Amino acid sequence: MSSDSWPPQLKEWVAKCLGQMTDANRAEAQTELKKVISDAFTSQTLWTTDWAAVQLQSLLPKPSPALNHLKRKTTEQTPLSKKAKKAQKQSQSNAQYISASANSSNTSPVFDPNDQAALNRRAERFHREHELERVKVLRANSHHAHLFQNGKGPFSRSESPYGLDGAAADDPEADPNVIDWDRHTIVGTSTELLKDYFRLTSEPKPEQIRPYPILQQTLLELKKRWREKCSYNWICSQFKSLRQDLTIQRIKNDFTVQVYEIHARMALESGDMVEYNQCQATLKTLYELGIPGRVEEFTAYRILMLLHGLNRSELNLYVGQLTPRQKADSAVQHALGVSRALSMGNYHSLFHLYDNAPNMGAYIMDHFIARERVKALMTITKAYRTIPLAFLKSELAIETLDETRMFLVKHNAGFFTNPNKPDINKNVDCKPAHGHLKEVFEEKYRKVGIKGAI
């Protein structure tokens, strides 16, 4: 806040107060003046306060002891009315409205109170000192901003953990009272390309951590190994180690997003929902920081995961926050179509969407499609007496007749009117199947547990 941004009435009031100070009351009056201006700045009422009506208590004439005794006696004898109490309370609170931050010398030479130029100089000096303290507070409040560096270049370092030396000393935002956490950020020196994941039990050492350029080479090697069909358990350990090195060095950029996105897809393909959910949680945070990535793709995955968890309230909140760009994406539109089909009980549309899921959406749907097939079968067996097995195969999006029959048997619904005929000619007996499907659904699908869910 520059000097020009102070209200003229405040400047005049400060000059007036400074002119009324004497050697006897200067220390007390300056302290109260700072408090009043500081409180007003904090409450953002610098421009709305009637400064001409604000009176510093320390500048009021000191009554004689006899007068104090008389006033105390009068107060005891005559209780104040509500209106008088309110006026008294307002008068007392006016003096505590805002605050300043300067320290004027108590040994200032005596000057003429009518010398306006001198008063203005003192008011301007008081303003500058107050401004210095205000900037100090703002710096203290903003010291966490460095946590969101994108990691594309080297982090700033200083010789002192409090940012007094090195680059931080030239930083206008540096605060000697705030720890410079960049000073303690480890920069790895290891050149080891591949490294298994181990949970940290002590402070990491630079020689155990791979620096950013090595991590980039590591990702290329891991992608190559995955194409060569290496073990998922091994590749997962390598990716967790890669993510750990990024976290220790506090690297958050588009490369970090790429690492988590690739690991999330591998986890989906391998059915590892715990690791997928951990990646998805981190990606959500990285996207919110504005770091670019496949935001729409993973937005669609998140919608499908919420459908898997039957978390309708959070889903409605999440969908309501989607941007026009996200809603226009084909993968997001597909996920929203799945949501509509489920809410309307349109199983025909649901299984069609399952067959045509973009990206890796079908891998997530695999985790709740059996539940929805049972619900569809409950509707079908309630509406028909018999139903061809071949029709169920097509309608429920099951690949083969054998898998369709085994699905019915697994869910205690393998009742057929002609059990000895080939599967292509089999008809399901709906009445006995319906009762067992209801029992299985209540036992197996009513509650959903998702490991590592976010």
pLDDT digits (tens, 9 = 90+) for 222-276: 999 999 989 999 999 999 999 999 999 999 999 999 999 999 999 999 999 999 9
Q: Is the residue at 13 inside a domain?
A: yes
> Residue 256 and residue 283: Cα distance in Å, rounded?
9
Q: Is the residue at 396 inside a domain?
A: no
Report yes or no: 377 and 413 within 8 Å, Cβ to Cβ: yes
Q: Is the residue at 125 inside a domain?
A: no
Predicted local distance difference test score (pLDDT) of residue 237 = 95
Predicted local distance difference test score (pLDDT) of residue 184 = 58
Predicted local distance difference test score (pLDDT) of residue 105 = 41
First-residue to last-residue Cα distance in the chain? 43
Predicted local distance difference test score (pLDDT) of residue 74 = 47
Q: Is the residue at 359 inside a domain?
A: no
Give the residues of the chain that fall short of pLDDT 70: 1-6, 62-117, 119, 122, 125-184, 448-454
Predicted local distance difference test score (pLDDT) of residue 143 = 40
Q: How many domains does the chain have?
A: 1
Predicted local distance difference test score (pLDDT) of residue 2 = 47
> Residue 223 and residue 228: Cα distance in Å, rounded?
9
> Residue 103 and residue 388: Cα distance in Å, rounded?
92
Range of the domain at 24: 8-48
Predicted local distance difference test score (pLDDT) of residue 145 = 41
Q: Is the residue at 34 inside a domain?
A: yes
Predicted local distance difference test score (pLDDT) of residue 274 = 92
Predicted local distance difference test score (pLDDT) of residue 89 = 56
Q: Is the residue at 360 inside a domain?
A: no
CA-CA distances (angstroms) from residue 301 to 68, 78, 141, 281, 370?
A: 76, 74, 36, 12, 18
Buried-state track 117-156, b at ≥16 Cβ within 10 A, e below 16: ebbeebbeebbebbbebbeeeebeeebeebeebebeeebb
Q: Is the residue at 385 inside a domain?
A: no
> Residue 242 and residue 228: Cα distance in Å, rounded?
19
Q: Is the residue at 27 inside a domain?
A: yes
pLDDT digits (tens, 9 = 90+) for 415-437: 999 988 998 999 999 999 988 88
